[in-house]
Structure 1
Amino acid sequence: MSIFSYDFMIRAFIAGAIISIIAPLVGNYLVLRRLSQMGDTLSHVALAGIAGGMLLGTNPTISSVIFVLLSSFGIEKLRKSYFRYSEISIAVVMSGGIALAVLLLSLAGSRATNVVSYLWGSIISVTTADIKIIIVLGIVVVITIVLIYKELLYIAFDEEAAGVSGIPISTINMVFTILVSITIAVSMKIVGALLVSALMVIPPAASLKIAKSFKQTLFYSILFSFISVFVGIIVSYYLNLSPGGTIVAIALLILGFTNILKPRL
């Protein structure tokens, strides 16, 4: 029987298609700005949002979006306070996110029974409501990046020069951090909170090895992300594996292949 005859698989592929676009789209700017660890930090905060949703009996995806957005504001605030040591903001928020997640999960008790599906991803747990949220937020991310594409690119390569030229750096940074937050929150159901940052970093890292321009980097990273997500979902279905782990493993294989191929180009 075809896997497309199951409604949960169709939902998984729809969610995967959107995630495979927005994750590397946002991730490219993280890599260029040397902020790869921000994705990992906010993914840990997303765990606190999931735990909070389970504790309050609300949709964990929505609660994780709220938690991660609030944390993104905290990161920007700390980055300004410790301008010369901006990495402190990432360490502080990550530690706080993990601590809060542990506390909320303890309080949730028996209500946190399906937390594992959010940690490692689960194609079965994607609901129709999740799809609607992912579609809406995914469109918001893509449209926003298209609108501020030039500003993001300028800041990524030279933030000081961008500020001198009149670009509102603080506003653009805040908007970008919000986009990262949304991407992480909507990707958890498929990839898992602990692995979503890998999907944001590995495809762009692979594309950097073979691309000759930034637009090519965007194209290849989305292509590699598509391959990783779709092949990962199919393999995880037939072999009964964790979708998040399988997706990231395939992304790593692609990264390895590009590193082998590079000397021959």
Structure 2
Amino acid sequence: MDWLALEFMQRALLAAVITGVTAPAIGTYIVQRRLSLLGDGLGHLAVAGVGLAMLTNTAPLPLAIAVCVVGAVAIELLRESGRAQGDVGLAIIFYGGLSGGLLLAALAGQGAGALAGYLFGSLLTVGTADLWAIAVLGAVVLLVTIGLMPQLFAVSADEPFARSIGLPTRWLNILVVALAAVTVTVSMRTVGLLLVSALMVVPVSTATQLTTGFRIGLFASMGIGTVAAVSGAVGSYYLNTAPGALIVVIAIGMFAASWPFARLLQGRPDRPVEVGSPDDEPLPEQPAEDHPHVHGPDCGHPAVEHAGHVDYVHDGHRHVPHGDHYDEH
């Protein structure tokens, strides 16, 4: 345990904890929107910000955040207007950001080697100023993702329903992608721009297998991400390996280990029972009788996307919010 006395390990552990908590926090909403590859696209776009910082000889983090947030918001607005499909927008981010970053780094006389620390992470070289920036931005991400949990869940799970109850869906969607962009750029010193998406998605998938309910799953994914990040940071010290890669491998290992344990814990059959899919024909609806319970992200009932909206499995039936009451399938 002598490594605890080393200042660079103390900073690395703190940065790992912050990243392990924040990446799954925003990743939960990204996964709910079925945009699991968004983190990869934003990571590639952040490379352009780093390359621009090299060309202008400025600090890479502020420019990377600015470029990443602007690009993420632009893609979201294009998606909303129907001028670009989600996968097309992500492809533009992937190729444009990465190639632009490499070109800018070359023009700055740096080359691709100078980008390696940002692409794959450099956790053990995190300085005091880096740690403060990671802590402040991480706190902002956590405050918003937890404080606005009901609203962000509603717009991520069922945007038409969220719009029908008066939520500002456009601004909430922009907020989600902007927070994802901030999380990606903050994590470039810990797990790297090319690997951060795994820390945003894999702990969320692991928590989904082990828990029921959005709120519980959110906090469980944050705990799983923290364990993976801290384990990877400590393990890299002893194994003399890249921390970012080890963090991701540990996260994937936890996901693999959770699969049989989840079946045993929840008593699921080998073939899960089909409770509906987005492609199913809508079933007949009738108002649910005597329904004092209010369904939502933390109600404890499984949420199932079905025919363009979200049903909640309750007492063997599926309830869907409809105006001031629930329809029952």
Distance 1:112 1:98 in 2: 11
Q: Are 1:210 and 2:218 matched, yes or no?
A: no
Question: Is the 8 Å Cα contact of residues 78 and 84 (structure 2) preserved in structure 1?
Answer: no
1:90 corresponds to? 90
User: Which runs of structure 1 show a deviation greater than 3 angstroms over 4 or more consecutive aligned residues?
Assistant: 110-114
Distance 2:195 2:86 in 1: 24
Question: Is the 8 Å Cα contact of residues 209 and 258 (structure 1) preserved in structure 2?
Answer: yes
5+ residue gaps, structure 1, are none
- CA deviations 1:89-132 (Å, max 9, x no partner) are 22222221122112112112237754211111112321111111
Distance 1:48 1:259 in 2: 37
- CA deviations 1:135-171 (Å, max 9, x no partner) are 1111111112233211111112211111111111101
Q: 1:96 to 1:111 in 2, by over 3 A?
A: closer
2:19 corresponds to? 19
Question: Is the 8 Å Cα contact of residues 123 and 244 (structure 2) preserved in structure 1?
Answer: no
Distance 2:28 2:96 in 1: 26
Alignment of 1:128-207 (within 5 A): 128-207=128-207
Distance 2:54 2:124 in 1: 18
Question: Is the 8 Å Cα contact of residues 117 and 125 (structure 1) preserved in structure 2?
Answer: no
5+ residue gaps, structure 2, are 266-329
Q: Are 1:6 and 2:6 matched, yes or no?
A: yes
Distance 2:115 2:84 in 1: 37
How many residues get paired? 265
Question: Is the 8 Å Cα contact of residues 49 and 67 (structure 2) preserved in structure 1?
Answer: yes
Distance 2:58 2:7 in 1: 23
1:264 corresponds to? 264
Distance 1:84 1:126 in 2: 38
1:33 corresponds to? 33
Residue 221 of structure 1 deviates from its aligned partner by 0.7
Residue 84 of structure 1 deviates from its aligned partner by 7.8
Residue type matched to 1:74 in 2? A
The percentage of counterpart residues that share the same residue type is: 36
Q: Which has the higher contact order (CA 8 A, sep 6+)?
A: 1
Question: Is the 8 Å Cα contact of residues 39 and 184 (structure 2) preserved in structure 1?
Answer: yes
1:44 corresponds to? 44
Distance 1:48 1:238 in 2: 33
Structure with bigger helix share is 1
Residue 18 of structure 1 deviates from its aligned partner by 0.9
Normalised to the residue count of structure 2, the TM-score between the two structures is 0.77
Distance 1:203 1:187 in 2: 15
Question: Is the 8 Å Cα contact of residues 228 and 251 (structure 1) preserved in structure 2?
Answer: yes
Normalised to the residue count of structure 1, the TM-score between the two structures is 0.95
Which has the larger Rg? 2
Distance 2:230 2:193 in 1: 18
Q: Are 1:107 and 2:112 matched, yes or no?
A: no
- CA deviations 1:150-203 (Å, max 9, x no partner) are 111111221111111111110101111110011001111010110000000000
Distance 2:93 2:239 in 1: 36
